[in-house]
Structure 1
């Protein structure tokens, strides 16, 4: 089971990395344009890539912690710190799943964004 959990977590980290790279690519392409702007679809895709990256990373950490036994939940255990760091990171507005998914869905459907700073 440990090898199976490791391989799944490895795949989730690779997924997170790909989503992150996609978000960075969209931002870089926008920056190269003058004026530097993103279309609504690009904005939605950019934010969606960021949030999916965070979600995949969170699931990878959860999977490893769940398979590491009770001692992994001690505050002195390194995995506990990693899990807390990921949880704090995902509470940031740029990575908060539900509002981002709603706004990304609106952007992808051409309904316009309800949050201007999105």
Structure 2
């Protein structure tokens, strides 16, 4: 959606005919694109860890696997959030209207990242403990 708009959107106070002609907009788009790819890779890594673990050990994840899995999920969310932020900030003031799809996407991402399974700070703490072999202070369910 951002790409399509950039190719036709006129931008005020610039010599560029459309947003896509702006080097800054091009850089912002490529960074957001890369962040989406990063989010996807982290998500795939989380799925790989769980799938691999269940193949070898149906009873559940080891502490090391749990730490890596949770960390991959959190980093996926963080990358997705930054991609959405860049996209919204490059879409002008109209992107903040309640009727604009990007505004809804941004709200949805914000809500998802407040859920305990994707909330970065507690996950970083627990993943760090798990990766260091210190044990989790939060039980697994």
SS in 2 for 1:116: coil
After TM superposition, the score normalised by the length of structure 1 is: 0.95
| Corresponding residue of 1:23 | 46
Cα distance, 1:35 vs structure 2: 3.4
After TM superposition, the score normalised by the length of structure 2 is: 0.80
Aligned CA RMSD, in angstroms, stands at: 1.1
Higher helix share: 1
Residues 57-105 of structure 1: per-residue CA shift (max 9 Å, x gap): 0000000101111111111111101100111111111000111000000
1:3 maps to which of 1, 5, 26: 26
- Tell me, which stretches of 5 or more residues in structure 2 are unaligned? 1-23
1:78 maps to which of 92, 98, 101: 101
Does residue 97 (structure 1) correspond to residue 106 (structure 2)? The answer is no
- The residue correspondences of 1:13-92 to structure 2 (distance < 5 A) are 13-92=36-115
- When structure 1 is superposed on structure 2, of 86-95 and 52-61 the one drifting more is 86-95
- When structure 1 is superposed on structure 2, of 38-47 and 11-20 the one drifting more is 38-47
Residues 6-62 of structure 1: per-residue CA shift (max 9 Å, x gap): 100000000000000000000101111243322211110000000000000000000
Q: Which runs of 4+ in 1 moved over 6 A?
A: none
Q: Distance in 1 between matches of 2:54 and 2:38?
A: 25
**Higher RCO, 1 or 2 (CA under 8 Å, sep at least 6)?**
1
